[in-house]
A and B are shown apart, each in its own frame.
Chain A
């Protein structure tokens, strides 16, 4: 069953994207330059903006890369993409995906199944494996768009699996490693922190479920703390010693980018932008407003956003929004912890909050929520329904990542495959319909949106004057679905009554 997943990762294409050049550049930087220059180097526009552990990872890869093609390791070779380079990069993604496959196996082993023999295709173990290994988003992003998300998500899933299995120290270690590989996982750190503090450090609860302060186990607390600190020290240590910490942090958190990515991720700010634009147009028409600054929101990659009617949003505002939105979820697992599965739910909610309210969110970030949600989806009927909504909408929102005509059949076929499989397998598992009519209508509307944007709109005369309308339409439509799933998921975590099998 595991090699079944390996086959899907063997479908490598010879595509290029900017991320390809980004990683080639990082290979070059870490190989050719001394450590002190890594975070100062800026020959290329794609500067090193992941934490140091990832830089060490690239350094390790570069030693293998030199056997494929030495020229890719020259920093000045911007845009270098010989076949050997491409082959090496692709192979490196496949090789690191081994981590992902192992993590999936561990997750599947931790999944609870009902008694009674079913045939292989309907067992939760198999369904979860298929949903994770053949996850459309991961396939598209990693293998077609090129990233190491499989590797990173693998570490995340492995950490989750370890917590589900009760091996909390390993889970904490893995998460510390993950944080040092890609700092976007800071958003879900509160879930980890509160869960480990509450459920691991405090060994006993009072009879009514609240925390018993006296049961704080210092040993466990110190063990956890030392693991996390030592991992961070390993990663950041050299840079702190060289006094480069401010420089590293400025590279890691570049707040000069705009509120929304070039292709708007379907989150709150997409809706916010549209409402602002609509209000401004309405205001002009009704002569309520005059001489508004022309809001330019869609040009280029890193432009600032100035809103016309509603207040402009700054990075700190988004941070506050995100923190405020995480708070209730995190508090709820403090006050009534529901074991590892409650933690997982909180993790998904935190990931979704960061997606909804974050600054310069890329639509790839939806994968951080979809993949852990898959684990919950094969265990509970309600979660399966939420999963179907979120996964289908989220995957569809990834469509603009592949925009050439050649990639169109691939992405359509793959999304059909995944959607068809997820719907039929989960329906069979839970024996019944998982979505109500409104949700089904919404999802069918996705097909309509796609047809209108790809087929009908290019034939209309407005294409020249308003070319961004299709992206806007897709983004807004998807954000409705994502918001709906977000609200449902949040309600499920806040609901005090839980079925016993959630524990």
Chain B
């Protein structure tokens, strides 16, 4: 069959799955007084639509920061403003200042879900399609399979269309960044990534690899000539983009500080942070964990290294940072999706574990059925379509030089065991009541299980990245077909 028709079918399948999940409940449905992330997004539309810009991040009589105050960078605010305008055209009650708090109706839910779908369609889906067709290898059939598997990744679908968030925008922008860098358009790539960071500050998890890759590329081109020129161009792009995004806030330094304070609530006084606070310990641990991968990327800036570094860096940040929300697992999950074509088995394993790790959140939102269905579908399709279990020999797992890891030769069996354990734990969480003395038994088991998986996979991906010989890579990072 034609590639384009196969591709359309896969995209349609992805969209259908998304819409099917969106018909379920959202976070905080029917739970006053605070509700959940859904209400937070609606509230931001209300705030940005009704109040002037300089009041968005401040605690005023009209804007109570304790009730879902804006804590994402300006691009989220602008997006909320746009949605707020559309909402007021359809039904002004949805964004009426003060009176619309806690507003819930099926029409409103339809509107909110539609905004997520449109954002996804515009930002994330095209990026995925372009990535699979231009930056991955294999036959056309394999590329279409890759598109399907990435689009079916349950974690993103359940969080965006179930719990309710707009991760597809920030992740989509980051993916455009990867696309840009991969195709050699460094300025556009940096532009996209800066926009991603300005949409959600958690994208800073990905910033280290972007920085190291670009810096390494500049070094390779020679700091005396073209390299320096490239560095300057990128720096200018970054600065200009930041300025444009923060333009309304730059009139007053107090504004900038307040926004930063909302984005990074670390308590007043940078001084306290640097002087022996718990934060600095975690920060140091994180940076240490991310260091080897970043240095390797600096010395060898190729697309393959870049993808691995994205995984390693964001996973390190996730595992060792302070006060990390479980949803942040999506940040390492995106680069791992990009590795589905190259290292199918570890990638599928990780993605499955990442979805599993968010199980307590899904249970709280009443999303068990979509979780079960999408996870099973994902595991089944990716294992079948990508032949994950066949590509699990030592060489293909890039572990040729490290035959001292014999246990990995039983990976297929271990994979099945792990998935079975996840399925078992999932059902137990829903069907059985925990013993009275250990009410948090199941979430704890889920966390420990996931943590062990993540740690193991972090080690694995680091080994793969660092153990790669410095000679020219066997794979061409640009498209080969």
Q: Report which A residues bind B (CB closer than 8 A).
A: 3, 7, 10-14, 121-122, 405-406, 409-410, 413-414, 416-417, 420-421, 424-425, 428
Contacts and interface: CB of A to CB of B under 8 A. Distances in A.
A417 B110 contact: no
A15 to B, nearest CB: 8
Given A121-B6, A424-B1, A424-B2, 13 more contacts: A10-B376, A10-B377, A11-B17, A12-B373, A14-B23, A121-B1, A122-B1, A409-B117, A413-B12, A414-B16, A417-B9, A417-B16, A420-B12
B140 interface: no
Interface string B5-30: 11011001101110110011000000
B20 A428 contact: no
A428 B4 CA distance: 13
Nearest to A410: B19
B12 A7 contact: no
A35 B110 CA distance: 46
A14 B117 contact: no
B157 to A, nearest CB: 13
Contact of B19 (A7, A121, A405, A409): A409
Contacts of A409: 15, 19, 117
Nearest to A7: B377
B106 interface: yes
Contact of A12 (B5, B13, B369, B380): B369
Given A122-B1, A406-B110, A420-B5, A413 B23 contact: no
Contacts, number: 54
Given A13-B20, A14-B23, A406-B106, A417 B12 contact: yes
Contacts of A121: 1, 6
A13 B6 CA distance: 26
Of all A-B residue pairs in the complex, the 8 with the closest CB atoms, nearest first, are A424-B5, A413-B16, A417-B12, A409-B19, A10-B373, A7-B377, A11-B20, A428-B1
A417 B23 CA distance: 19
10 contacts: A10-B377, A11-B16, A11-B20, A11-B373, A405-B110, A410-B19, A410-B20, A410-B23, A417-B13, A428-B1
A374 B5 CA distance: 21
A11 B23 CA distance: 11
A181 to B, nearest CB: 29
B contact patch SS:
helix
Interface in B354-391: 369, 373, 376-377, 380-381
Contacts of B9: 417, 420-421
A416 B19 CA distance: 14
A416 B5 CA distance: 11
Contacts of A3: 380
B20 A7 contact: no
Contacts of A416: 12
Given A11-B373, A413-B15, A420 B8 contact: yes
B105 to A, nearest CB: 12
Contacts of A413: 12, 15-16, 19
Contacts of A414: 16
Contacts of A14: 23-24
Interface in B97-134: 106-107, 110, 117
A12 B369 CA distance: 9
A406 to B, nearest CB: 5
A7 B380 contact: yes
A444 B6 CA distance: 21
Contacts of B6: 121
A386 B17 CA distance: 30
Contacts of B106: 406
A144 to B, nearest CB: 10
A174 to B, nearest CB: 31
B155 to A, nearest CB: 18
Nearest to A424: B5
Nearest to B107: A405
B23 A406 contact: yes
A428 B5 CA distance: 11
A416 B9 CA distance: 8
A36 B384 CA distance: 53
B23 A13 contact: yes
B141 to A, nearest CB: 8
A122 B1 CA distance: 7
A14 B370 CA distance: 11
Contacts of A425: 1
A421 B5 CA distance: 8
Contacts of B110: 405-406
Interface centre among A7, A405, A416, A417 (most CB of B within 10 A): A417
Contacts of A405: 107, 110
A405 B105 CA distance: 13
Contacts of A417: 9, 12-13, 16
Contacts of B2: 424
B385 to A, nearest CB: 11
Contacts of A406: 23, 106, 110
A417 B16 CA distance: 9
Nearest to B14: A413
